[in-house]
Amino acid sequence: MAVIIILLGLVSFLYYRNSRRKQTLNLILKDRKEEAEAQRDQLEAINETREKFLSIIAHDLMGPVNSFKGLSAIMKMSIEKQDKKDLLEIHQVLNKTINNMSNLLTNLLDWSVTQKGSVPYLPEKLYIHQLSAELIDLFFNTAENKKISLKSEITTDLAVWADENSVKTILRNLVSNALKFTEDGGSIELSAEKKDGFIAIKVKDTGMGMAQEKINMLLAENHFERSQGTKGEKGVGLGLQLVKEFTQMNKGKIEIESQIHRGTTFVVYLPDFNPQ
């Protein structure tokens, strides 16, 4: 009798252990299936976003090309008539078109590098006032053409620990974006301050502003949307996407403050080289 009880107990134990193993395996298989489905959904979302983005880019690249064609025909007629006034106007439009196309292609190249996961990250001590001075020079003509006051109030003592090329891309795109959405006669101001172990770099404009819903969309991952500036400048949000990715790479964060018809302030937090 004792032997039978022992055997029954052993059989029950083996059955229970096998049942537990089966349950564990089923849970593992379920988790892996859910993980695979999540990865598939993520890949589909990424591919859909890329297809949408590339479609928009292709369309926007055709704009400058068609402008070149039209300007070429007008230039030919102006040369034949020896009309210097028309040629000067063509030069201004041509210069603007080239700058817009150059900025778009630069961002496109930077973005393609981020998609490969091969962006070099070489942090070093960077003085923000030096980078802001370069930006003022870079965008002087663009600001002058729109009668926009572009100035920097960044002091000489503030430094961050970050990758130089990516920080230049961040600031270039923020200033370019501010110029795009600021009306003639407006102003753009760069400033910076220490805050909780970071340097908070601000790009403040008196532009069109935006609602909170728009801000939430801009801060969402992989958000691309065609937009148009005050002078018809086109964009797809690629510059802001780079700003987000490069800020994250430099262990920073972004905030956006805005009021419709009052202006927008982009705040980028980068690690302070001398945290106190």
Domain ranges, ordered by start, for the chain: 124-271
CB 205 within 8 A of CB 188: yes
**Residue length, the chain?**
276
Q: What is the pTM of this model?
A: 0.68
The angle that helices 84-116 and 2-81 make with each other, rounded to 10 degrees, is: 170
Separation of alpha carbons 39 and 150, rounded Å: 45
Which of 13-17, 69-73, 134-138, 194-198: highest mean pLDDT?
A: 194-198
Mean pLDDT (the chain) is 81
How far are the Cα atoms of 19, 20, 67, 254 from residue 23, in angstroms, in the given order?
A: 6, 5, 66, 45
Per-residue pLDDT reduced to its tens digit, 31-40: 788 887 777 7
CB 210 within 8 A of CB 257: no
CA dihedral 30, 34, 35, 38 (to 10 degrees): 180
For tokens 């102006």, name the residue: 78
Q: Where residue 58 falls among pLDDT bands split at 50, 70, 90?
A: low
pLDDT surpassing 90 at residue 15 = no
Q: Does domain 124-271 have CATH number 3.40.1010.10?
A: no
b/e sequence 257-269, b meaning 16+ C-beta within 10 Å = ebeeeebbbbbbb
Per-residue pLDDT reduced to its tens digit, 253-275: 999 999 999 999 999 999 999 87
Per-residue pLDDT reduced to its tens digit, 90-130: 777 777 777 777 777 777 777 777 766 767 889 999 999 99
Q: Rg for the chain (alpha carbons), in Å? A: 28
Separation of alpha carbons 237 and 248, rounded Å: 17
Main-chain phi, psi angles of 160, to 5 degrees? -115, 160
State how far Cα 138 lies from the chain centre: 19
